[in-house]
Chains A and B, each alone.
Chain A
Amino acid sequence: MEQKKDLILKVSGVTKRFPGVLALNNVSLEIPKGVVYGIVGENGAGKSTLMKILSGVYEKDAGTIEFDGEIIEHTTPIQALRRGLSIIYQEFNLVNTMTVGENIFLGRFSENGGMKGTHQKARELLDSIGSKIDTYSLVGDLSASEMQMVEITKALSFHSKLIIMDEPSSSLTAEELKKLGDIIVQLRGQGISIIYISHKLDEIFEYCNIVTIMRDGCVIDTKSIEELTRSDMIAKMVGRTIENEYPPRAHFAGEPLLEVRNLNTSKLHNINFTLHKGEILGLVGLVGAGRTEIIRAIYGADKVKSKELIMEGKPVTVNTPRDAKALGMGLVPEDRKQQGLILRFSVGDNITMAALSRIAKRGILNRRKEREIAKRQIENLSIKTPGAATKVLNLSGGNQQKCIVGRWLELDPKILILDEPTRGIDVGAKYEIYVLMNKIVEQGGAIIMISSELPEVLSMSNRVLTICDGRITGEFSPEEVDASVIMDKAIG
């Protein structure tokens, strides 16, 4: 009884069913006041569904939720906010064309006696977390980290007792992350509880006091952080033990496959490099350094000032992605939802997309072959889906990504370009993607890989190029050189 007093949130037996999926199965959590509570789990484990129920976006099917000693039957996002439960999504909910102050008190200007009071109040709140952002600057001009501060301040303006942070670090640099850490500690000191959801286990270990591990809609375990090790956590998340986060590096000894010479665009300066058969080449650099621009330029997706490509010894012209595809290239873009998938289309349609031009005879499609391809790649990549006709948006991030990779595997690409192939996908699916990459190079293909996760790109690549400010600043063999040396070159 005594302990109950100190709980900010008590979730018991919450169940949520979607057509065909049991998203949450009898989930129970107890979150004390003033702690940072980590929730980890693979994509599709039910974390987001649970948060959406807490914040009133979804209705639960069964179970009870007790917030701050009060049983909550129905709630809406705005009621949840007013009760003191805020959620900061991965994609911020801010109006880019309005000022910081206006965003913090959006729709509540009169409560502060007009605009002047609003900015004053916003200033006080920002000061309270030690942020120096001008309340009169436009949100659209802020960096990702500053926007996050605005979101946190917005949560504070509602006198939140519980703040949910969903993947808060996904767009932050290392330094910004440290700042976020400081603020989390400070909020905790004020008695505010935080639910911290992240795929990045380092952060979970650094910030969280208690961790709940979820899998397949169930709570697998809840432990205080001291009782957990990294490998325990991963094993519980995926339901099996993974000895290694990365498969052994594939070896290669290939001749040059693609030579890129004299590549210049408005953002890139004199890019020259060679990709070999059977090689995984990693591009390392900060976001905005020009990594994506390089691969898009090679693939013919962007305009270039100059570019020479030599493939297997012969000069080739790539002006459009169509040319690139004809030469045996494939691109898995960085933004899965905006650039990769047709979310409203079926899994099958998304998988067969690239192969259509090959199976079409004189422009006539072949439905039977399309079904075969979809079936083959679903099996080949063990894509978890009820069937090929399921809409792709119903799959988890990892399985969505596999659909895009499968799309290209069907064409046996000579060069597969992967831009952030494991962003936002869980440990188990990541490993499967790595294994796939190794399989592609073993079969004589080559991969260019971009990743913001340094350990990943260093563990997977045979060779890395560091990119800074649109230039190649170094070339390393990650097996021989220390990660800090490489990062140093990438930062410039």
Chain B
Amino acid sequence: MEKTINVKKIVLQNLVLLGIIVLCIVTAIVEPLFLTQDNFTNILRQFGPLSFAALGMTYVIIGGFIDLSVVGTISLVGVVTLSLIDPIGQAGALFCGLLLGTFLGFLNGVILVKFGAMTQAEVLFITYGMSSIFGAIALIYTNSETEHMSRLSNPYTIFTFIGNGKIGPFTASIILFVIALIIIEWFYRKTLWGRQIALMGGNKTAATLCGYNMKKTLVLVYTICGLFAAMGSIVLISRVTTASPVAGAGYETDAIMSVVVGGTALAGGTGSGIRTVLGVLLIILLSNCMNMLGVSTYLQTIMKGLVLVIAIWLDNRKEQQIH
């Protein structure tokens, strides 16, 4: 009796990992090309922009909120960064891009605090509005045209490296991502500020009464999310060597999906960046496998939707088991 419960618990807690393994085995059997070096590199390359955006989103969701503005942030940071390479050089542009993303996130946080938006629903709409604003600024800034690195006169070697460079078998973007993951997870688990994020997601009233500043914590999570969206944006423009003012479209849903599929509770309070990495991996593999198996794009979209619905259903079941 006790043992079956434990097996069930372990399976339930590691459903994503299980899903990934099953997916790999099935695809590998049906399509041996799945296991080739080329495909492996292909999967790692896709790990780029989404994984950064999803990682930032993780801490917003752990804090009990949500951020739809990553779409606008990714678009705006991309076009601004690329356009700055010529006037101020590539290093300066990179730095300004990250700074801009951080500032946009900070701005989101400050606006939410000022407007007293303290529920997930309010935050949903305000960040959606912010996203539209950022996106529209990107369109105005570029005159709705896509910018190309190949037309630049200054060198852009850093970006080429981020986009295509390799260290050993790993792509540069994966290595950057792992470094970022280690730093942010350390911050979340080991520092008081990190803990305050979890307390905020758990019960912000209780945390406030215990003497923690929830307004600052809220600004912090949105700032982190902005910074990570900017990193994602830079990885994106480096990969495709262009910056489109609408490049960010769709990233918010995929990022939220990765977080939830990974097993971070939508209710807030618990979760981790590592879980999100698994979520991202599952989503990338899902589309990779379905591509290999020749599943049509529409059917793929249906599958993706199903995975999200199932993930939220499982999330709710977990919550109910607690109660």
Interface residues of A (CB under 8 A from B): 19, 299, 301, 320-322, 324-326, 331, 333, 338-345, 353-354, 356-357, 360, 363-365, 391, 393, 407
Contacts and interface: CB of A to CB of B under 8 A. Distances in A.
B210 A407 contact: yes
Contacts of B206: 333, 339-342, 353
B208 interface: yes
B322 interface: yes
14 contacts: A301-B208, A320-B211, A333-B209, A338-B205, A342-B269, A343-B203, A344-B202, A353-B207, A356-B195, A357-B211, A364-B191, A365-B194, A393-B322, A407-B210
B203 A342 contact: yes
Given A338-B205, A356-B195, A345 B211 contact: no
B210 A354 contact: yes
Contacts of B323: 393
A354 B206 CA distance: 10
Contacts of A333: 205-206, 209
B211 A325 contact: yes
Given A344-B267, A356-B192, 8 more contacts: A321-B210, A322-B212, A342-B202, A342-B203, A344-B269, A344-B270, A365-B191, A393-B323
Contacts of A354: 210-211
A393 B267 CA distance: 16
Interface string B191-222: 11111000100110111111111000000000
A353 B199 contact: yes
Most central of A320, A340, A344 by chain B CB within 10 Å: A344
A203 B203 CA distance: 35
Given A325-B210, A333-B209, A342-B203, A360 B269 contact: no
Given A344-B270, A364-B191, A357 B212 contact: yes
Given A342-B202, A344-B269, A363 B192 contact: yes
Nearest to B265: A344
A360 B209 contact: no
Interface of B: 5, 190-195, 199, 202-203, 205-213, 267, 269-270, 322-323
B202 to A, nearest CB: 4
Contacts of B195: 356, 365
Sorted from nearest, which 6 A-B pairs have the closest CB atoms? A325-B211, A342-B202, A360-B192, A342-B203, A354-B210, A322-B211
A391 B322 contact: yes
Contacts of A326: 211
A10 to B, nearest CB: 30
B205 A339 contact: yes
B211 A341 contact: no
Given A338-B205, A356-B192, A363-B193, A344 B322 contact: yes
A38 B205 CA distance: 36
B12 to A, nearest CB: 14
A322 B207 contact: no
B36 to A, nearest CB: 44
Contacts of B207: 342, 353
Most central of A299, A331, A345 by chain B CB within 10 Å: A345
A320 B270 CA distance: 26
A322 B270 contact: no
Contacts of A342: 199, 202-203, 206-207, 269
A354 B232 CA distance: 36
Contacts of B191: 360, 363-365
Contacts of A391: 322
Nearest to B193: A363
Nearest to A331: B209
A353 B202 CA distance: 11
Contacts of B192: 356-357, 360, 363-365
Contacts of B210: 321, 325, 353-354, 407
A345 B270 CA distance: 9
A169 B117 CA distance: 36
Contacts of B209: 299, 301, 321, 331, 333, 339-340
A414 to B, nearest CB: 14
B199 A320 contact: no
Contacts of A331: 209
Contacts of B193: 363
Contacts of A338: 203, 205
A339 B210 CA distance: 10
Contacts of A339: 203, 205-206, 209
Contacts of A393: 322-323
A357 B196 CA distance: 10
Contacts of B203: 338-339, 341-343
Most central of B207, B210, B270 by chain A CB within 10 Å: B210
B207 to A, nearest CB: 7
A345 B208 contact: no
B216 to A, nearest CB: 10
Nearest to B202: A342
Contacts of A322: 211-213
Contacts of B199: 342, 353
B190 A345 contact: no
A19 B213 CA distance: 37
A353 B199 CA distance: 8
A102 B149 CA distance: 66
Contacts of A320: 211, 213
Contact of A321 (B5, B194, B211, B322): B211
A321 B215 CA distance: 13
Contacts of A343: 203
Nearest to A320: B213
A301 B270 CA distance: 26
B208 A321 contact: yes
A342 B208 CA distance: 12
A1 B108 CA distance: 73
A326 B210 CA distance: 11
Contacts of A365: 190-192, 194-195
A19 B192 CA distance: 33
A365 B191 CA distance: 5
Contacts of A301: 208-209
Contacts of B270: 344
A345 B212 contact: no
B262 to A, nearest CB: 18
Contacts of A356: 192, 195
B315 to A, nearest CB: 13
A57 to B, nearest CB: 11
Contacts of B208: 301, 321
A380 B165 CA distance: 58
